[in-house]
């Protein structure tokens, strides 16, 4: 049996490189050697994930007509400070919903006013500014955008759209 040693060595080296990702030293035409190493693909970073949210009342007598909201970074997410209008003196702010959509990379926050009183308690009949502070906690970074909606005496509407990609 005749064995072609060069063909056998070339085949073994190719198989080793293909299967094991091993390193091989190759000589170039100018006599220098190059080293080739198999690379591993760069993992895709995990997308942000909303892990907690909260809303606290805040006194805000300077609430503009139509309401307002602004957001800022905090160590683990986003702080939203805002105000909306209650129908009477018993109105308070309540977190309606906080969500994150990874496909669009958009977080949404809905803040609404509700009446908080005992059945035999009387409320003033004047419109009342209702302030709030909402915290959205994320893992793996922040969303690209945050949309804040209010549902109060003026109905439900988008009050702010904050783009964190430009921040």
pLDDT at 77 exceeding the cut of 60 = yes
Range in 5-14, 17-26, 103-112 with the lowest mean pLDDT = 5-14
Whether 79 is covered by a domain: the verdict is yes
pLDDT at site 26? 52
Whether 59 is covered by a domain: the verdict is yes
**Burial grade of 137 (CB within 10 A; 0-12, 13-18, 19 or more):** middle
Q: Which domain holds residue 85?
A: 49-163
d(CA 14, CA 33): 17
- State how many domains the chain has: 1
Which 3-state string (H, E, C) describes the chain?
A: CCCCHHHHHHHHHHHHHHHHCCCEEEECCCCCEEEECCCCCCCCCCCCEEEEEEEEEECCCCCCCCCEEEEEEECCEEEEEEEEEECCCCEEEEEEEEEEECCCCEEEEEEEEEECCCCCCCCCCCCEEEEEEEEEEEECCCCCEEEEEEEECCEEEEEEEEECCCC
Q: What is the mean pLDDT of residues 3-25?
A: 45
Whether 22 is covered by a domain: the verdict is no
pLDDT at 21 exceeding the cut of 80 = no
pLDDT at site 51? 96
pLDDT at 133 exceeding the cut of 70 = yes
Does the model's pTM come out above 0.85?
no
Residue 29 or 161, more confident: 161
Strands 155-163 and 145-152: antiparallel
d(CA 139, CA 50): 7
Whether 4 is covered by a domain: the verdict is no
pLDDT at site 61? 80
Whether 39 is covered by a domain: the verdict is no
User: With pLDDT > 90 as the criterion, what percentage of the chain qualifies?
Assistant: 56
C-alpha angle 144/146/152, rounded to 5°? 170
**Rg, the chain, Cα only:** 30
Q: What is the mean pLDDT of the chain?
A: 82
Whether 136 is covered by a domain: the verdict is yes
Whether 1 is covered by a domain: the verdict is no
């Amino acid at each position: 049996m005749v064995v072609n040693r060069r063909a056998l060595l070339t085949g073994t080296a190719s198989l080793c490189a293909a299967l094991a990702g091993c390193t091989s030293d190759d000589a170039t035409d100018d006599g220098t050697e190059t080293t080739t190493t198999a690379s591993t693909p760069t993992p895709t970073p995990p997308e942000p994930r909303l892990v907690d949210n909260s809303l606290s009342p805040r006194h805000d007598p300077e609430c503009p007509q139509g309401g307002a909201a602004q957001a800022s970074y905090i160590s683990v997410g986003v702080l939203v400070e805002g105000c909306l209008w209650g129908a009477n003196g018993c109105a308070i702010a309540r977190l309606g919903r906080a969500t994150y959509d990874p496909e669009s990379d958009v977080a949404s926050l809905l803040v609404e006013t509700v009446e908080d009183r005992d059945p035999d308690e009387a409320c003033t009949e004047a419109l009342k500014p209702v302030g709030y502070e909402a915290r959205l906690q994320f893992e793996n970074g922040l969303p690209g955008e945050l949309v804040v909606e209010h549902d109060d005496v003026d109905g439900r509407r988008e009050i702010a759209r904050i783009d964190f990609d430009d921040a």
